[in-house]
Amino acid sequence: MPAVTGLSPLDAQPGVSYIMPILNEAAHIEDAVRSILAQDYPGPKEIVLALGPSTDGTNEIVARLQAEEPRLRSVPSPTGRTPAGLNLALEASRYPVIVRVDAHTELEPRYTARGVATLRRTGAADVGGLMDAQGRAPFQRAVAAAYGSPLGLGGAAYHSGAPEGPAESAYLGVFRREALDAVGHFEESLWRGQDWDMCLRLRQAGYDVWFDPELKVTYWPRATWGKLVRQFYAAGIWRAELARRHKEGKSVRHFLPPVLVAGLAAGAASGVLSATGATRRWPAWLKVPANAAALVPGLYAAGLAYAAATLKQDLSRPERLRLLAVLPGIHISWGLGYLRGRLLGAAGTVDTSRRKS
């Protein structure tokens, strides 16, 4: 892809289109939309929702909101898949600045104004900021704490913060439309990870992707263990698919969960074999690694207990205890997903945590 020479000048208060794909988000959609309507930004605004085939009353809530707000429009998204919905909403929008929003998020009041100002100041094609994970119930607050810790999601800049500057990727994103048009919109074969792929293509085309820690988005993570595990299993599969497709973007933190899964499996197997006496007649050179592997589950459990006790978040004791389920739920499900994705590819894997049940 040829490098670009730069973007056209952006007005001080350009029109902004907010695009959001939705599937079964009845619990969150109204708060997400109202956070957009409450933006402290004087320029023209519109919201375009891509409505998937929801079964939980989401589309009825959207219809009620549309009756109240003429700037809120919607387009059907038959598949309900995120990248297809993003592209449908993008094609139906009209303004030169595109703000991607997720139904699980709420924008801070000055988010748009800061995002536009950063686009103008830096000349970047995409600007993103911090994912500020929050929780209501104790389990969700424990998940939010894990999101913000290197012990949970590995310390990406938009989770734990970093100095302002060029970045590999941006959370959600405040985009220049002309840059999206130039690189071909979101890759619809990537049902997860399409945001990272978009940032890669923007950078390959010569555009800047920019991290601004002053931008903050409230994110509400999955509120049950089952949905959390299904979300991260799918996330691991699609991250592996990205690794299969692109040589760029591989990080040590991506390999730690699958290595952990392999170590736990080897340790559990070694422990069972040792307990049944199967290793009694093994030569010493086999017994030593087998015995070492058997220690892995215990060491991991001790590490989880230490992490839950010392995590630097304001958590109650019950919330810290829930971290003992949250952290392995994230680590092991993501690691299993990554191994499956590397071996078999994504093969149309769906994030079932977005389903009603």
Q: 131 has which bridge partners?
A: 217
Judge contact between 256 and 154, C-beta under 8 A: yes
CA distance 227 to 87: 26
What is the C-alpha separation between 249 and 268, in angstroms, rounded? 32
161 CB-near residues (< 8 Å, 6+ apart)? 130, 213
pLDDT in tens, the chain (357 residues): 444 557 999 999 999 999 999 999 999 999 999 999 999 999 999 999 999 999 999 999 999 999 999 999 999 999 999 999 999 999 999 999 999 999 999 999 999 999 999 999 999 999 999 988 999 999 999 999 998 887 877 655 666 667 889 998 889 999 999 999 999 999 999 999 999 999 999 999 999 999 999 999 999 999 999 999 999 999 999 999 999 988 876 677 788 899 999 988 888 888 777 777 777 777 776 666 767 777 888 899 998 998 888 887 789 999 999 999 999 999 999 999 999 999 999 988 888 887 665
Q: What gap in Å lies between CA 274 and CA 200, rounded to an integer?
A: 48
Q: Tell me the domains of the chain and their CATH numbers.
A: 16-223 (3.90.550.10), 252-354 (no CATH)
> CB neighbours (10 Å) of residue 284?
6
Residue written as token pair 């040829």: 2
Asked if 157 contacts 211 with a C-beta cutoff of 8 angstroms, the reply is yes
Closest alpha carbon to 355 in 226, 259, 248: 226
Helix (H, G, I), strand (E, B) or coil at 107: strand
> pTM score, two decimals?
0.87
115-234-59 Cα angle (round to 5): 65
User: Does residue 92 contact residue 62 with C-beta atoms inside 8 Å?
Assistant: no
Q: CB of 171 within 8 A of CB of 129?
A: yes
Quote the tokens at residue 188. 């619809």
